[in-house]
């Protein structure tokens, strides 16, 4: 019998603290709540289905939801769906959002100057119906490379001091950028792309975050090379073999492998499908052997770096 058939909740994978906020290590990414692809203005999701996913997530013990004001389709806003589904919010619910990128009402991208970050924070507050944000990640543009983030992070630190933000994180960063941010204000999490096949430097960065007590929150842990479009192609035979051995899906194996990287690693798989939600939460109960972990960690290829 599969070890995933036993009813499970997000607590099965254990907890971690984002500053003074305790979260279950399996959370929910809100990107896919708005449609088939978060940045596709033409394919809105079914509103009631998305609301059902959010409410069911909380019932299953999910108390960490990752979102952004720029997660919207033609008729759906992730933040507004969260507000509609969950307000008044459970006391233990932690909502993490991100700023620096933005999209205008037509869906076109823009990147905020430091003085514009307050407007982005306030946009999240309005949509979520909150007076403060639990965690705000500074999402570094891909084009920024290893450049300085001090001016932008300093602006966020000022908003934290003003009471609009409780805790700060960084996303899509290098170790040097993390250190630069930490010299300005405490950082509770790093949200970077990470999954099977991650290169040695990324694996070392994950371990270094753990040594510092900083949560590491991988995105695209399931989707791999598909990224925003989702998982695609066929899985490596090693992944398939481990999945068969546990009566699990390849996506559950990828999530379990991610969670096994350390107690400070948090998963935020995104879905707009209630069945996928339940499967993602159940992956937190999947225990992989040392031999399975070694075999999976040797997997590379196009799906691994997501």
89-109 b/e with 16+ CB inside 10 Å = b? Answer: beeebbbbbbbbbbbeeeeee
**Is 4 a domain residue?**
no
**Is 302 a domain residue?**
no
Number of domains in the chain: 1
**Is 212 a domain residue?**
yes
CA dist 218 → 4, 116, 148 (Å): 22, 27, 22
Residue 92 is part of a domain; what is its CATH number? Answer: 3.20.20.100
**Is 306 a domain residue?**
no
Containing structural domain, residue 111: 10-297
Per-block average pLDDT, block size 10, for the chain (306 residues)? 60 97 98 78 88 98 98 94 98 98 94 98 98 98 96 98 98 98 98 94 97 94 52 75 97 96 97 96 97 92 34
**Is 100 a domain residue?**
yes
CA dist 173 → 7, 95, 229 (Å): 37, 21, 22
Q: Helices 237-246 and 290-297: crossing angle, nearest 10°? A: 160
**Is 1 a domain residue?**
no
- Say how many residues make up the chain: 306
**Is 161 a domain residue?**
yes
What pLDDT sits at residue 7?
Answer: 58
Radius of gyration of the chain (CA): 18
The pTM (predicted TM-score) of the whole model is 0.92
Token pair 């999976």 in the structure block, residue = 296
What number of CA atoms fall less than 13 Å from residue 96's CA on the CB side? 31
- Catalytic (active-site) positions: 71
**Is 95 a domain residue?**
yes
What pLDDT sits at residue 36?
Answer: 61
């Amino acid at each position: 019998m599969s070890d995933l058939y036993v009813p499970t909740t997000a607590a099965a994978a254990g907890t971690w603290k984002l500053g003074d906020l305790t979260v279950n290590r399996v959370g929910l990414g809100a990107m896919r709540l708005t449609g088939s692809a978060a940045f596709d203005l033409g394919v809105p999701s079914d509103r009631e289905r998305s609301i059902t996913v959010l409410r069911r997530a909380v019932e299953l013990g999910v108390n960490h939801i990752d979102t952004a004001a720029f997660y919207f389709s033609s008729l759906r806003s992730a933040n507004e769906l969260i507000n509609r589904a969950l307000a008044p919010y459970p006391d233990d619910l932690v909502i993490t959002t991100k700023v620096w990128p933005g999209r205008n009402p037509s869906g076109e991208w823009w990147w905020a100057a430091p003085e514009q970050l307050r407007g982005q924070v306030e946009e999240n507050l309005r949509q979520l119906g909150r007076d403060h944000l639990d965690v705000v990640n500074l999402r570094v543009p891909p084009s920024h490379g290893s450049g300085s983030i001090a001016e932008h992070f300093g602006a966020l630190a000022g908003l934290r001091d003003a009471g609009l933000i409780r805790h700060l994180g960084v996303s899509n960063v290098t170790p040097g950028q993390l250190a630069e941010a930490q010299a300005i204000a405490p950082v509770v999490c790093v949200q970077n792309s990470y999954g099977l096949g991650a290169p040695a430097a990324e694996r070392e960065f994950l371990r270094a975050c753990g040594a510092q007590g900083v949560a590491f929150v991988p995105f695209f842990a399931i989707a791999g090379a598909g990224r925003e479009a989702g998982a695609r192609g066929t899985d490596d035979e090693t992944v398939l073999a481990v999945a068969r051995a546990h009566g699990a899906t390849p996506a559950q194996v990828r999530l379990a492998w991610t969670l096994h990287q350390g107690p400070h690693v948090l998963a935020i798989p995104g879905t707009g499908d209630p069945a996928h939600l339940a499967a993602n939460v159940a992956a937190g109960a999947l225990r992989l052997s040392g031999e399975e972990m070694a075999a999976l960690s040797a997997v590379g290829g196009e799906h691994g770096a997501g």
